[in-house]
């Protein structure tokens, strides 16, 4: 008990982080210049013993639970927080089917893994190899009124199945791409196109220009003459530019809803503004500003003509002085 008590005053001056089993004494000053290596070592060991004792004091004070391997204590979380190694796992976005099922109120229900197969009179798995209603177990397919002559129903059946599988694979990839956009791809899957960009590597550099881009640029360059490239000789294999000329849009002439209604609306707007009661009082702000600017410009030119020399030397100051004089 005496030793435990002796250790407490040392413990008071240090911070103990029990989660990391760490003790830190910020007050202790080590005299380096005077001490030799051996003295320094002794001093450090002595101080460290105190600190270790301080950690042990709080550690062994925790209530232990007996185990076969020794007493086990529950540590508090560390007070010094250190950064994570990787980001927090991101939630997977719902698949298109999951969204649809939710909208429709469809809930998942459990299916039996095995079912009774009438064809072979045995229990079989519902999916995969040797499943219920497997292609190889169906010897006869009943003819229907809708059957076309000359079509093998067995081949058709196989083809349909193949199509369904392909469609499902396509859907799966779509969903994975969607997940990849959010960064919630399952960790065992990697999109090859999205190789991890490492700073300073090739992935970081701009992409190599494609043939298409080069063609576009060539087309633009060839049309960048006064005549719009009309009289230039075409190079072998050169294609005309993709989007020549302006992109003017005309509203549809025929009346109707939506776009067809747009022209009518535009004309209505103009007419309304013209026929409005106070149309003559309306102020076109843009026009007013230009008028004001033109007027000012004229005035400036006039002034310039009267004092040409002085204006050249100190144009700004002069104008300021003048304006102040005018005001006065």
Partner 1 sequence: MVAAIRVPKTKRARRELLKHAPKLVETGKKTLILHGTKTSAVLNSVLSDIYHLKRDNAVKYTKKNDNIRPFENGGESSLEFFSLKTDCSLIVYGSHSKKRPNNLILGRTYDHHIYDLVEVGVENYKSMESYVYDKKLAPKLGSKPFFAFIGEHFESSEELKHLKEVLLDLFRGEVIDNLNLAGVDRIYVCTAISPTTVYMMHCALRLKRSGTPIPRMELVEVGPSMDLVVRRHRLPVESLKKEAMKTAEHAKKMKNVTKDPVQGKLGKVYMPDQQVGKLTLSNDIKGLKRERREAKKNKEHSKKQKVNPE
In this chain, which of 74, 111, 144, 246 binds partner 1, going by CB under 8 A? 74
* Burial grade of 81 (CB within 10 A; 0-12, 13-18, 19 or more): exposed
Tell me if 101 contacts partner 1 by CB under 8 A: no
Cα 161 from chain centre = 37
| 16 strand-pairing partners | 23
Tell me if 82 contacts partner 1 by CB under 8 A: yes
Minimum CB distance to partner 1, residue 113 (Å): 21
Tell me if 49 contacts partner 1 by CB under 8 A: yes
Minimum CB distance to partner 1, residue 9 (Å): 15
Question: What span, in angstroms and rounded, lies between the C-alpha atoms of 268 and 235?
Answer: 51
Tell me if 66 contacts partner 1 by CB under 8 A: no
In this chain, which of 75, 276, 291, 294 binds partner 1, going by CB under 8 A? 75
In this chain, which of 37, 257, 309, 325 binds partner 1, going by CB under 8 A? 37
In this chain, which of 32, 36, 227, 306 binds partner 1, going by CB under 8 A? 32
Whose Cβ is closer to partner 1: residue 190's or residue 272's?
Answer: 190
Tell me if 67 contacts partner 1 by CB under 8 A: yes
Tell me if 104 contacts partner 1 by CB under 8 A: yes
Distances (CA, A) of 308 to 85, 235, 293, 313, 320: 73, 57, 22, 9, 16
- How many chain residues are in contact with partner 1, going by CB under 8 A? 73
Distances (CA, A) of 33 to 26, 36, 128, 221, 276: 19, 8, 79, 74, 94
Question: What span, in angstroms and rounded, lies between the C-alpha atoms of 232 and 225?
Answer: 9
Binding window for partner 1 (CB under 8 A); candidates: 34-42, 126-134, 145-153, 213-221 = 34-42
Cα 152 from chain centre = 50
In this chain, which of 9, 12, 34, 77 binds partner 1, going by CB under 8 A? 77
Binding window for partner 1 (CB under 8 A); candidates: 70-78, 114-122, 239-247, 272-280 = 70-78
In this chain, which of 12, 34, 36, 88 binds partner 1, going by CB under 8 A? 88
Tell me if 145 contacts partner 1 by CB under 8 A: no
What does the angle CA 147 – CA 149 – CA 152 come to, to the nearest 5 degrees?
A: 80
Whose Cβ is closer to partner 1: residue 18's or residue 132's?
Answer: 18
Question: What span, in angstroms and rounded, lies between the C-alpha atoms of 22 and 16?
Answer: 6
Site for partner 1 in 177-196 (CB under 8 A): 186-193, 196
Cα 113 from chain centre = 40
Nearest to 252 by CA among 263, 265, 268, 240: 263
In this chain, which of 36, 84, 236, 249 binds partner 1, going by CB under 8 A? 84
How long is the chain? 328
Dihedral of the CA atoms 254, 257, 258, 264 (nearest 10)? 60
Tell me if 154 contacts partner 1 by CB under 8 A: no
Whose Cβ is closer to partner 1: residue 46's or residue 316's?
Answer: 46
Tell me if 309 contacts partner 1 by CB under 8 A: no
Tell me if 25 contacts partner 1 by CB under 8 A: yes
């Amino acid at each position: 008990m005496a030793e435990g008590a002796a250790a407490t005053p040392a413990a008071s001056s240090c911070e103990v982080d029990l989660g990391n089993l760490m003790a830190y004494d910020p007050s202790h000053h080590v005299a380096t210049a005077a001490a030799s290596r051996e003295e320094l070592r002794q001093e450090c060991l002595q101080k460290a013993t105190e600190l270790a004792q301080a950690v042990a004091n709080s550690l062994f004070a925790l209530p232990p639970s007996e185990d076969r391997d020794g007493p086990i204590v529950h540590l508090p979380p560390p007070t010094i927080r250190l950064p994570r190694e990787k980001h927090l796992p991101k939630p997977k976005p719902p698949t298109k089917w999951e969204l649809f099922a939710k909208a429709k109120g469809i809930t998942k229900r459990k299916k039996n893994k095995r079912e009774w197969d009438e064809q072979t009179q045995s229990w079989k798995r519902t999916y995969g190899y040797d499943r219920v209603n497997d292609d190889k177990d169906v010897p006869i397919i009943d003819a229907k009124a809708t059957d076309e002559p000359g079509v093998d129903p067995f081949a058709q059946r196989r083809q349909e199945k193949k199509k369904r599988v392909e469609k499902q694979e396509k859907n799966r990839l779509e969903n994975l791409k969607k997940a990849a956009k959010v960064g919630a791809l399952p960790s065992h899957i990697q999109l090859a196109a999205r190789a991890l960009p490492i700073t300073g590597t090739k992935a970081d550099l701009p992409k190599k220009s494609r043939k298409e881009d080069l063609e576009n640029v060539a087309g633009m360059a060839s049309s960048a003459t006064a005549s719009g490239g009309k009289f230039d000789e075409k190079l072998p294999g050169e294609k005309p530019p993709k989007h020549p000329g302006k992109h003017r849009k005309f509203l549809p002439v025929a009346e109707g809803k939506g776009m067809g209604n747009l022209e009518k609306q535009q004309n209505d707007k103009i007419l309304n503004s013209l026929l409005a009661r106070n149309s003559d009082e309306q102020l076109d702000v843009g026009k007013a500003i230009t008028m004001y600017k033109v007027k000012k410009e004229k005035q400036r030119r006039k002034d310039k003509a009267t004092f040409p020399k002085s204006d050249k030397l100190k144009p700004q100051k002069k104008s300021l002085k003048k304006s102040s004089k005018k005001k006065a």
